Structure 1
Amino acid sequence: MDEQESLPPHVLIFPLPLQGPVNSMFKLAELLCFSGLHITILLTENIHNRLVLHTDITSRFDQCPGFQIKTISDGLPDDHPRDGGKFLEVFDSLRTKTKTLFKDMLTSDLLCFDLDGKERRRVSCIIADGVLGFTCDVADEISVPIFCVRTISPCCLWIFFCLPKLIESGEYPFEDDNLDELIKSVPGAETFLRRRDLPSFCRSGDLTDSNIQLYKTEGQENSRAHGLILNTFEELDEPILNQMRTICPNLYPIGPLHAHLKKKQTTLRPSSNSLWAEDRTCIDWLNNQLPNSVIYVSFGSIATMTNDQLIEFWYGLVNSGQKFLWVIRPDSIAGEEWRSKIPVDLATGTKERGYIVEWAPQEEVLAHPAVGGFWTHCGWNSILESVYEGKPMICWPYFFDQQVNSRFVEKVWGIGLDMKDTCDREIVEKMVKDLMVLRKEEFLGRANHMSKLAKNCLMEGGSSYSNFDRLVKDIKSLSDKV
């Protein structure tokens, strides 16, 4: 037997350089490591630098000898903001500048040795974010099998798959300004999906919009891979998954990824993948609160708000009379003047009932018995974490897939309230009271049922457990042919 063939399969994982995808794909990397595979996770230099700054990333995989991190340039200057408004520039740079570096890396000996100088196989399989279409090009050129992974919601991905049909049918661009008109060209969602629930960029009405051009080929791009890995579970998304299988027959729904390691009972110590420094004093504060009495508020790592929106939200929270834990990132509000202009009644109400931090250990917060609800931007990781812990949601989507997700939270799964396109203190107050008081038992009952399904799917014989085992077997089988 060739010496290379005697070594474990070597999988390169390339996440999209954003907090959510990086977080999810680190979880996937950990799982694959504990399945006997050698893993290289490829991070852009910018993301790696932030992880080094805020986490124990350099030491956390000491117990995983098959794991290593490599970095690659995203082709942008160090001072580029790489935020929501500028992120398409990251896509463009990855496609035009990083693609060549990626191919050179895979065809060199750079990945054939770990940090200790021990030999590992050449990369025998690639797992890359499906929006990074150039990775499929490179995989084809060097004859290495590739799996796509999407860390956004299946419901949004399905809309991307349907974009050509929306355009062909004349439903997009919209003929008028009625955002409550139902959308009929997304199979499986005809009875509840409105124009306002489509991904945020659809409101531009411009077919030349760079987002439309990027995402309308999703069905073609993702179907090029051997299979599509999704961070969901059959019991949550079965109707949409069945629709997606008409385009990508080989799906691996293996989520919730963040909970897999807990079920696998690995010895890897708990750690963070956060690009922000976590303030753990909020856990001490939660420890002093009654069960299900606190609403946790966090709008993720990218969403921003105006000072006016901040004040409306704040009054709504304080006037609701509920305890609240609120994450306000340093860059989430334009300017710093809000800190010196907090109305006295808000400051007093927050001191009595609230706690504000710049960033929180979210998984731990959502698992805390004091938390009874989650006011979220509806990023997919946040939704899955909330579903797993049985916490009902108030949804204030910011952009991208979040508009779609919030509609599914309310109308499909019935585990929360959709507050999109709203910023009014009276509505905030009403929704917080509905979730935490008036309809508390109703929402908690449905959320707890969904939580049980999420936990069961990860047990031996469960849907995600079985799909993950099938993924590992397929990776090993394909790697043997390289």
Structure 2
Amino acid sequence: METAKQTEIPKPRRIVLVPCPYQGHITPMLQLASFLHSVAGFSITIAHTRFNSPNPSNFPHFQFVYLDDGIPEKEAIPTDLIAVLLELNVNCRDSFKAEMRKLMAVEPEDSSEVIAGVIHDEIMFFCEEIASDLKLRSFILRTTAAVTSLARMALVSLNDEGMDPIPKLHPLRFKDLPISLTTDFTGYSKLMKKTYNMETPTTAKAIIWNTMEWLEDSIMAKIENKSTVPIFPIGPLHRIVSAQTSVLKEDFDCLSWLDEQADNVVIYVAIGSIASYNEKAFGEMAWGLANSQQPFLWVVQPGAIHGSEWIEALPKDFLEAIGGRGYIVKWAPQKQVLAHRAVGGFWSHCGWNSSMESLSEGVPMLCSPCFGDQKVNARYLSYVWRVGIQLENGLEREEIEKGIRRLMVGEESKEMRERTKDFKEKIEAYVLKVKDQCYSHTYLAELVSLLKSS
């Protein structure tokens, strides 16, 4: 008599995630990892450079392995970001392959765990080839708005032509395209062609996007029509799952200062983790804030001001002029700050994480983009979604003062605040719907299903 075959129990699965080692890229990757572990039950390995690495103690359930990046610590605020990113894709290859072979060597066929795939940042494109060589599935995480991808590909194809506005990319102007004027275009073109598989077809199984389909519906439709692999817009990740992602020490004392302020009067100023300024621009920012007469919380990262350790370059008499109306920190817990009742505006570089965090809390923005996708985001925030005001003429105290007043007081401010409130409510409704359905019938559920499939 034959015995019935026992039902085969699926083996637990491990995902290897490879962030690009800058804060705007690290944050969504670690948020995705936290979701995949806490909600979907995957084991997690983070393959990270030693350069700009997050604190593993914040993620006790994750395994961390380190890649040989060859980047000196002084490059934390690089003079040529494109060159650093291209260098990372060369330097990290061998150590990533070696670490993957170690993981695979301890997981034979009879092991209780299998590697379900590699999720890598779009910038860390070397991972796709290595995963393919090792017969592993790879998945791409894009950490920008969808429109940025179209703009980047258009910029590469434009070559040396400077047209304004850009054909088929309305409302973007030439100056809104995602490149720094100080960057060598040859290097930029090389990075983008690799990032967007413009020379060879992708072997990735899917593209994961930290955006919302309804926010960029027409753009997503264009991309999906041309894509050869499934696309999963699963944002906003910071609202789906909570995770401690900052690689810098956050100053929580600023929240106590905010507690002492009236509602919606403080402008929060944070121009990103890798932006840098000369002393003149720093002075213009300072006097623009002082002359606006608005209370402010200002993040100034050490080393961001050329020739200064921190805030030594502040203009003479500035601190006396503002009295107790301002508070300066080296780094802030941004999500808590934006959610605080006292914060009524956000002067930002318009990185994609910051933009979504601000929209999620109903906080209008003063847009001061530095480079890359920040310029695309600023144009959409100010011109399309109309929840921000862009500083079009650089950092000049008169324009800064005027911009802050427009953002914080008056009829224009009121109308902008109402539009931003609508975005907040729409995001909250979307996130609640996702969570109420236990992530079923969503892009997240479809992604998890794909990751768990053979």
Equivalent residue, structure 2, for 1:174 = 162
- How far apart, CA to CA, are the structure 2 residues paired with 1:433 and 1:156? 29
- How far apart, CA to CA, are the structure 1 residues paired with 2:64 and 2:314? 44
- What is the SS of the residue equivalent to 1:301? coil
Equivalent residue, structure 2, for 1:104 = 98
Equivalent residue, structure 2, for 1:47 = 52
- How far apart, CA to CA, are the structure 2 residues paired with 1:464 and 1:422? 46
- How far apart, CA to CA, are the structure 1 residues paired with 2:352 and 2:438? 17
List per-residue Cα deviations over 1:422-454 (Å, max 9, x = no partner): 111111111100010022211110101011121
Equivalent residue, structure 2, for 1:17 = 21
Counting only pairs closer than 5 Å after superposition, residues 22-421 of structure 1 correspond to structure 2 as 22-34=26-38, 35-48=40-53, 51-52=54-55, 57-58=56-57, 60-62=58-60, 64=61, 67-76=62-71, 78-109=72-103, 112=106, 121-167=113-159, 172-174=160-162, 181-184=164-167, 187=168, 189-190=169-170, 192-201=171-180, 203=181, 209-220=186-197, 223-248=202-227, 250-261=230-241, 272-336=244-308, 339-340=311-312, 342-421=314-393
Choose the corresponding residue for 1:459, options 414, 417, 432: 432
- How far apart, CA to CA, are the structure 1 residues paired with 2:408 and 2:142? 33
Match of 1:44, as an amino acid? T
What's the CA shift for 1:402?
Answer: 0.8
What's the CA shift for 1:23?
Answer: 1.3
What's the CA shift for 1:94?
Answer: 2.8
CA contact (8 A) 2:117 2:138 kept: yes
- How far apart, CA to CA, are the structure 1 residues paired with 2:241 and 2:96? 29
CA contact (8 A) 1:233 1:457 kept: no
What's the CA shift for 1:83?
Answer: 2.7
Choose the corresponding residue for 1:445, options 398, 404, 418: 418
Match of 2:63, as an amino acid? Q
Further displaced range: 409-418 or 244-253: 244-253
Match of 2:452, as an amino acid? K
CA contact (8 A) 1:291 1:370 kept: yes
Further displaced range: 241-250 or 330-339: 330-339
Please report the TM-score for the alignment, with normalisation by the length of structure 2: 0.89
- What is the SS of the residue equivalent to 2:75? coil
What's the CA shift for 1:80?
Answer: 4.8
Further displaced range: 192-201 or 371-380: 192-201
Further displaced range: 439-448 or 346-355: 346-355
- What is the SS of the residue equivalent to 1:220? coil
CA contact (8 A) 2:82 2:191 kept: no
The percentage of aligned residue pairs carrying the same residue is 33
Q: Does 1:8 align with 2:3?
A: no
What's the CA shift for 1:362?
Answer: 0.6
CA contact (8 A) 2:144 2:211 kept: no
Pair 464,246 (structure 1): closer, same or farther in 2 beyond 3 Å: farther
How many equivalent pairs are there? 439
Please report the TM-score for the alignment, with normalisation by the length of structure 1: 0.84
- How far apart, CA to CA, are the structure 2 residues paired with 1:321 and 1:3? 70
Match of 1:193, as an amino acid? L
Unaligned runs of 5+ in 2: none
RMSD: 2.7
List per-residue Cα deviations over 1:367-388 (Å, max 9, x = no partner): 1010001000111111111011
- What is the SS of the residue equivalent to 1:408? helix
Pair 204,349 (structure 1): closer, same or farther in 2 beyond 3 Å: closer
Unaligned runs of 5+ in 1: 114-118, 176-180, 263-270
- How far apart, CA to CA, are the structure 2 residues paired with 1:378 and 1:467? 26
Pair 135,304 (structure 1): closer, same or farther in 2 beyond 3 Å: same
List per-residue Cα deviations over 1:36-86 (Å, max 9, x = no partner): 1111111111233xx33xxxx31x344x4xx3222121133x445243324
What's the CA shift for 1:251?
Answer: 1.3
- How far apart, CA to CA, are the structure 2 residues paired with 1:338 and 1:12? 37
Match of 1:238, as an amino acid? D
CA contact (8 A) 2:387 2:420 kept: yes
- How far apart, CA to CA, are the structure 2 residues paired with 1:231 and 1:137? 23
Pair 211,111 (structure 1): closer, same or farther in 2 beyond 3 Å: farther
